[in-house]
Amino acid sequence: MSIAEAFVEDDLTPAPDEAGRAVLNERFEVFSGQRLPQFDPPGCGAFRAADLKGRPRALFAVICQPDHPPRTEIFSVLRRFPAVPVLMPVDAGFTYWPPAGANRAVLIFEQPAGKRLVEASVERFEPWREDHVVETLLRPLLPALRELERFYLPHRAIRPDNIFFSDGAQSALMLGECVSTQAGYAQPVLYEPVDSALAMPGGRGDRTTSEDLYALGVVVAVLLNGGNPLAELSDEDIIVSKVTHGSFVALARHLRCSLPMVEVLRGLLTDDPEDRWTVNDLALWLNGRRLSPKQPVLATKAIRGFEFEDRTYTTGPSLAVALAYHWESGIEAVKSGMLLRWVQRSLNDDRAMARLESALENWAYGEGGIDSEHHVLARVIMALNPRGPVCYRTFRASIDGLHKAFAIGLKDPVVCEDYRMVVLGRLGPFWYSIQSQVRPEFAAYRKYFDLARRVIAQGGEEFGLVRAIYATNPGWPCQSEIFAGDYVTSPGDIVPALERVAASDSRPSEPLDEHIVAFIAANHQGLSDVAVTTLTRRSGTDRSVLDMVELLSGLQRAFGPPEVPRLAEWLSASIGPVLETYHNHETRRRIETAVDGLVPEGSLNRLLCAIDDHTLRQGDKEGFARAQKQFLRLTIFRHWIESGGHGDPQFIGGVAHPIGSAVTALVGAIAVLVMTVLYL
Amino acid sequence: MGKSSAKVKAAASPKRRRGLMWYLPWALASIPICVVLWPSVFLVAALMGPSVLSPILFGRRAMHLTASVGILNFVGVLPALGRLWEQGHEAGVAAHMLTDPVVWGGALAGAGTGLVLFFATEWVVAAYYRITAEARLSQVMARQEELVELWGDEVITADAARLMTQGGQATPGEAGDLRAGAAT
């Protein structure tokens, strides 16, 4: 399924004018009946928008995919951006989108004055002249790249169909938007450096402006060529070609261009990010200073090629790409020992051999708690192509895009399982161990990898993966089915969103599921412990219900709103298990009555106090113990009566004898009194 | 179990046992009385014979029976004692009176009345319990139903359930509770 096909069809269905209007932040009106397909980003829909308060201007709104959040984390940075030729969102937020009947992320942009540089559907066009490329593309975009670098904000969507003419005269270009999808998600393989090209679209990582410069180099090559120079190749072949010959050779070998243009292409298309041109290098080149890019260090070629899947591979990285694409055959190749022998005898690369030995160390097929042979191949692929992504079966992601790839592919069980095996199989630490350079950002990657491993190991398949989504992807919106019609990006959104869900007819039995709880655990420090405990509890128990109410009341206290009567009513329908913990039925009825009285107030804290009153619980406990004793005594007594205890001479004697004595004493006293009277 | 062992300990404690030293002052104090009131003591001792015999006939544990017989036996002796004091309170008169069947009739009639009243009371109490047993059983069952309604089935402990389902006698350990229940 392509990225564009992934978009929810309902979101694109035009609605009648009045019913189909959406208003963002009480300022921007979006017309769902007025599509603007010329501004569609991949996988999203563009619609006409209007500014209700500001000056009249041509705007369009991008409606984002419900399960693929935009790059919300860069909104605040983009707002601080100066006027540079990049399509910046005028505003962004979440609002009700009538065609879908649910909330969606909406981005408002000013319509570019010109059209796209090249439409996505156009394969061939008139090749550009070199001076035209410099004056129309490189020079106008340089300030934008400089600002992106200054703010450490990679664009990651530089490609011809996302570059617009900034004026009607088509004299200058501007970069298109970069927030509607995750970084690099919509980039074709051609525009990705060899490090990340093999990765799944969602697993390419945020990276740096260096990747933007590489993409710019590819755009230059495409424009000079009049189309994709590798159009006839598959994605796999493009990557193999790049890693075998180097990107510059793969993309520009058929181009006829001047030496200065060769310089800039060679500098931008350098595969090693350390040697790739920076924005300053490009600026210097544009100012006429000629630089001499380093010659690319290509992978060592083998004396004899390795036959695999009817092709011959002569370098380790190219073979790694092929192994990643043909997984099952790759396992056979490793198991047969042919690959190891090829590296030993033909590749003549001591470092690759050392990495390979490390990959095979302490691993044996069929042993271990995890699927070993897949892990061996994953390590072998990394050993052959250490700069490449982490690969495990169909899961391929850069080390900085591992967790995001999983979050994006959440609905695919294969992605989930593969991610779990990547984490539990410690493929991340292996990747760090074989890198020739230790970079500072590795520490952050390692932190998230360890965190993911810990939560998955703790929670297992049941909820470990769900926790991993939010623990390793800060700011990732809650993916709960309960919020299918909403968009929850912070803990403060949860209670209001649940109140809206509570008002609907299709609310589930309980207002929390594992996604919401895991989301709270990752995003609200104060309730993290309660949330983690809640995850481990079996649903429908008294503790799980109490934890649920405690979590939501905590959120209400922290973020409001003060009154959520519908949510309170929803929760009150779930308190059965808590009531059952009280033995006294009268107490249960009293609590039920109290809860019914509290529901209209909508205070979850008061609801919690009503159902979990410590004093009441203690009194109930003591009263129950007394009642049990009393019942036992009554049972013994009843048993005694039924077995004829009342007729027992000993019992009768015990009762009658003192009475008899008393009666005779009374009679005696009366007799003495009578005698005394008579005597006197 | 703990309750009954505590009772045994209490019964065996020195405070509850009256030794010889406890009786000695009484015995010493009674000597001058016996000497001074010798004719009365003689008459009463003889006529109170049935009261002395009753613990022997009905067992030492029948303290209440002895008391019942003794009280009315003494009431029957009082007229004779009055006559003794009217006639000078002399030993000879007392001895003579012991030959009088009327005097003995009064003493024995008193003792007999005490005996009859005592056993009549036992019969009445037994009849009362026999008649009220059904009503008490209904009360107990109603109270148990109330408890179940208020606290649920969990109020029935395993012991109670066993007692409710099994026939036969309560176990020895339950005997103390049984007496407590009867007194409820």
**Burial label, A292 (beta-carbon count in 10 A; 0-12, 13-18, 19+):** exposed
Distance of CA A354 to the CA centre of its chain: 36
**Burial label, B153 (beta-carbon count in 10 A; 0-12, 13-18, 19+):** exposed
> What band does A363 get if pLDDT is binned at 50, 70 and 90?
low
> What band does A18 get if pLDDT is binned at 50, 70 and 90?
low
Q: A192-223: per-residue pLDDT in tens?
A: 999 899 999 999 988 889 999 999 999 999 99
A666 contact B CB<8A: no
- What is the tally of helices (H) and strands (E) in chain A? 29, 12
HSE-CB for A328 with a 13 A CA cutoff: 0
What's the rounded Cα separation, in Å, for the pair A628 and A383? 70
Query: What's residue A438's pLDDT?
Result: 83
Query: What's residue B182's pLDDT?
Result: 46
Handedness of CA B85, B91, B96, B97 (dihedral sign): positive
**DSSP bridge partners of A173:** A165
DSSP E strand boundaries for A270-389: 301-308, 311-315
Mutation for testing the B interface, residue in A657, A676, A679 having most B CBs under 10 Å:
A657
- Residues A330, A323 contacting (CB under 8 angstroms): yes
Q: B112-167: per-residue pLDDT in tens?
A: 999 999 989 989 998 998 888 888 889 988 999 999 989 988 888 888 888 777 75
Q: Find the residue in B nearest to A664 (Cα).
A: B68
Angle, helix A585-598 to helix A565-572, in steps of 10 degrees: 160
What's the rounded Cα separation, in Å, for the pair B184 and B178? 10
What pTM does this model have?
0.75
For every residue of A547-562, DSSP letters joined together read: HHHHHHHHHHHHH--S
- Residues A537, A586 contacting (CB under 8 angstroms): no
> What band does A10 get if pLDDT is binned at 50, 70 and 90?
low
Smallest CA-to-CA distance from A111 within A62, A77, A64 is with A62
Domains, in order of start, for chain A: 4-110 (3.30.200.20), 130-286 (1.10.510.10), 299-365 (no CATH), 389-477 (no CATH), 481-612 (no CATH)
Query: What's residue A284's pLDDT?
Result: 93
Q: A417-454: per-residue pLDDT in tens?
A: 999 999 988 899 899 889 888 888 888 888 999 999 98
Shortest CA gap B74–chain A (Å):
9
Smallest CA-to-CA distance from A465 within A523, A540, A414, A499 is with A414
Shortest CA gap B51–chain A (Å):
13
- ipTM value, please give it: 0.77
A659 contact B CB<8A: yes
Residue A180 is which amino acid? Answer: S
**DSSP bridge partners of A392:** A395
pLDDT of A9 strictly over 60: no
What's the rounded Cα separation, in Å, for the pair A674 and A624? 58
Residue A650 is which amino acid? Answer: Q
Query: What's residue A207's pLDDT?
Result: 86
Contact A661 B125 (CB under 8 A): no
Chain B hits for A653, Cβ within 8 Å: 122
Angle, helix A316-325 to helix A372-384, in steps of 10 degrees: 150
Question: In this complex, which of A583, A653, A671 lies closest to B151 when CB atoms are compared?
Answer: A583
Angle, helix A614-642 to helix B175-183, in steps of 10 degrees: 90
Contact B143 A646 (CB under 8 A): no
Chain B hits for A675, Cβ within 8 Å: 75, 78-79
pLDDT of B9 strictly over 50: no
Secondary-structure percent of chain B, ordered helix, strand, coil, rounded to 5: 85, 0, 15
Distance linking the first and last C-alpha atoms of chain B = 20
Q: A550-581: per-residue pLDDT in tens?
A: 989 999 999 989 999 999 999 998 888 899 89
Shortest CA gap A6–chain B (Å):
56
Shortest CA gap A43–chain B (Å):
60
When mean pLDDT is compared across A115-124, A142-151, A361-370, A467-476, the lowest value belongs to: A361-370
Residue A467 to residues A462, A515, A522, B145, Cα–Cα distance (Å): 10, 7, 8, 50
Q: Tokens 């003493």 identify what position?
A: B107
Q: B15-37: per-residue pLDDT in tens?
A: 556 677 887 888 888 888 888 88
What's the rounded Cα separation, in Å, for the pair A599 and A545? 16
A414 contact B CB<8A: no
What's the rounded Cα separation, in Å, for the pair A343 and A315? 10
What's the rounded Cα separation, in Å, for the pair A577 and A587? 14
More confident residue, A516 or A84: A516
B3 contact A CB<8A: no
* The two structure tokens encoding residue B116: 């009859």
Query: What's residue A32's pLDDT?
Result: 87
**DSSP bridge partners of A51:** A28
